[in-house]
Amino acid sequence: MHRQVGELTSDYGPLDILWLDGGWVNAKTHPDAIVGRGEVPWPQDIDMQELAALARKNQSGLIVVDRAVGGPYENYRTPEQQIPDTPLPYPWETCMTLGNSWSYAPRDHYKSARQIVHMLVDIVAKGGNYLLKVGPDANGELPTEAVARLAEIGAWMKINGEAIYATRPLAPYREGKLCFTHAKDGPVYAIYLLDEGEGIPVVIDLNNISPASGTTVHLLGSDVELKWQRDGAGMRIAVPEAVRYQAANNYAVSLRISVMQPGRKQ
């Protein structure tokens, strides 16, 4: 195992992540790691301390995911096929399949682009990353339906990506159909999740976003500056018909809010 990881981390150029998926290789918690116990008659403890040191010596800055065991060598954790109800107090990534299977399965049932976008927004608003798995077929090719689904998601990201990439979570994270993110030292984003067939509301209320004087609001993909007014501790944003028509049949729409009140927690 150490020789294989040594080869992979030294002979194939720069690597970002060593993602270990074995839960039976820790002598403290798994009987299979101890000689004469479990199902395997030889030692299974791969010695994470030495292995992580070897990999990081060959790849400076390497991120290690000691996925199923946990401990000092995991840089982040990976809840599988689920999204936490609330933000987690450590770096995390939801790993999930586009269909039902981790590997290729003929006639697999793929999640809709709307469903994936809604999951992505929910995850990012809670401070997580989204790993989406698609299994190639026996020829090493991705199924046509999966490729089409990824293209649909990519089209949405082309317009709304700035509300997703390199953003941070922003309390209260979610209000009903609204999720919140913010750019580092930049604007706040309120992402409205649309059900199939649902139109963009004429008015969008943000109950916990307190704007400063001079705040500007735009819907991503539109150059029209939206009118807003203060409403208690929040704000009320009017979306004119032309903007609603331009963004019709969308999975979700993102509002860019340029300025926040000084001192707001982010």
CA atoms of 79 and 128, how far apart (whole Å) = 10
Rounded to an integer, the average pLDDT of 110-118 is 97
CA atoms of 155 and 149, how far apart (whole Å) = 10
The pLDDT of residue 139 is above 50: yes
**pLDDT for the residue numbered 266:** 40
- pLDDT tens digits, one per residue of 75-93: 999 999 999 999 999 999 9
**pLDDT for the residue numbered 181:** 97
DSSP letter for 262, please. Answer: T
Confidence band, pLDDT 50/70/90 cuts, at residue 40: low
- pLDDT tens digits, one per residue of 145-172: 999 999 999 999 999 999 999 999 999 9
Rounded to an integer, the average pLDDT of 186-212 is 93
Residues 178-207 as b/e (b if ≥16 CB within 10 A, e otherwise) read bbbbbbeeebbbbbbbbeeeeebeeebebe
9 within 8 A of 15, measured Cβ to Cβ? yes
The pLDDT of residue 264 is above 50: no
Domains and CATH numbers, the chain: 1-75 (no CATH), 168-257 (2.60.40.1180)
Confidence band, pLDDT 50/70/90 cuts, at residue 263: very low
Measured CA to CA in angstroms, residue 184 lies from 11, 162, 181, 189 at distances of 36, 11, 10, 12
38-52, 114-128, 153-167: segment of lowest average pLDDT: 38-52
Indicate the pTM of the whole model.
0.88
Q: Which of 48, 85, 86, 54 is nearest to 67 (CA)?
A: 48
